[in-house]
Amino acid sequence: MAEHYGIQTAAGHLTVAAESKEPYAADVLAALHEDAAQVVAKYPQKRSALLPLLHLVQSVDGYVTGRGIDFCADVLDLTTAEVSGVATFYTQYKRHPNGEYTVGICTNTLCAIMGGDQIWDEVSEHLGIGHDETTPDGKVTLERVECNAACDFAPVVMANWEFFDNQTPESTKQLVDDLRAGKDVRPSRGPAKVCTFKQVSRVLAGFHDGLADEGVGAGPASLEGLRLAHERGWTAPDGTAGETATHDQQPEATSDQTAAGRHTSTDSGANAPDEAVDDKPATLFDEKNGKADS
């Protein structure tokens, strides 16, 4: 199912299909610019808004398209190579059409031995697709995930990053069948139903959907330690006994540390806002000659 992986160039790199580079319709582009302005306004340097803007593109196109790359580069004054470098680094950004629902089956150690490997094998065969592939109806993209961050409910499956705890091959096959049938599917925790990939991408871009506080966040297994602490009167140390050195008590850096360019974690200033970026020319390091060139 090579069509799910983009187009292979002669250099061996993946690229998006030509149709994904078609310009946005005028009304879509206007709405994107309006949303992007709200996102960029949150950051002192606008290039820092690249991650949420890529999610914003996915909320419109369903994946990071060629026109989406151009849009982000234009808004943030970046090159398309810089934007593509980020878009191809993180797995939540898709460079090919993604399903309406991303179903991630955890096969990391704990989930695997609790049944995650079997779930993966049976669901993959059930759907007829492998990792990062999408069903022909465009409904489900299947992913083999390293960790869903819910080990106390292993084996765990996620649908668009909503939790489905203590799963079995049968329950997960029912999950993907219901998603493909267009049924409302309720996760084990969180909101009343799983939102679509585009809807979730808009949330990840920074726009609230009003569902953040809906449903249970932590289940009984996650709260067991807290229950035991209350039952047995356990409390956390107050932090006064054996307290480590405060910032004011930290020793000064030695001359050899300074010479080597080493710094403490607290002596670096915050990034300057965009207005200060061009105050001085960038410096490039010539590795061959071992010197810096402006």
CA distances from 36 to 69, 82, 202 (A): 13, 18, 11
- Boundary-marking domain end, from 148, 167, 195: 195
Both 80 and 117 in a single domain? Answer: no
In a domain, 245, yes or no: no
Residues 256-266: tens digit of each pLDDT: 444 444 444 44
Both 66 and 120 in a single domain? Answer: no
In a domain, 186, yes or no: yes
- CATH number of the structural domain spanning residue 73: 1.10.10
Both 67 and 36 in a single domain? Answer: yes
Predicted local distance difference test score (pLDDT) of residue 106:
96
Residues 147-190: tens digit of each pLDDT: 988 999 999 999 999 999 999 999 999 999 999 999 999 999 98
Instruction: State the virtual CA torsion across 93, 80, 72, 48 in degrees, nearest 10.
Output: 80
| Structural domain of 179 | 101-195
Residues 40-63: tens digit of each pLDDT: 999 999 999 999 999 999 999 999
Task: For residue 209, name the pLDDT band (cuts at 50, 70, 90).
Answer: confident
CA triple 61-30-57, angle to 5 deg? 25
- Boundary-marking domain end, from 175, 195, 215: 195
Global pTM value: 0.74
- Boundary-marking domain end, from 153, 172, 195: 195
- CATH number of the structural domain spanning residue 168: 3.40.30.10
Contact (Cβ atoms closer than 8 angstroms) between residue 130 and residue 94: no
Pairwise CA distance, residues 264 & 261, whole Å:
10
Contact (Cβ atoms closer than 8 angstroms) between residue 163 and residue 188: yes
Non-local CB neighbours of 15 within 8 Å, separated by 6+ positions: 6, 7, 9
Non-local CB neighbours of 133 within 8 Å, separated by 6+ positions: 1, 4, 141, 142
pLDDT exceeds 70 at position 199: yes
Both 74 and 114 in a single domain? Answer: no
Pairwise CA distance, residues 190 & 158, whole Å:
12
In a domain, 238, yes or no: no
Residues 96-127: tens digit of each pLDDT: 899 999 999 999 999 999 999 999 999 999 99
Both 106 and 72 in a single domain? Answer: no
**How many domains is the chain built from?**
2
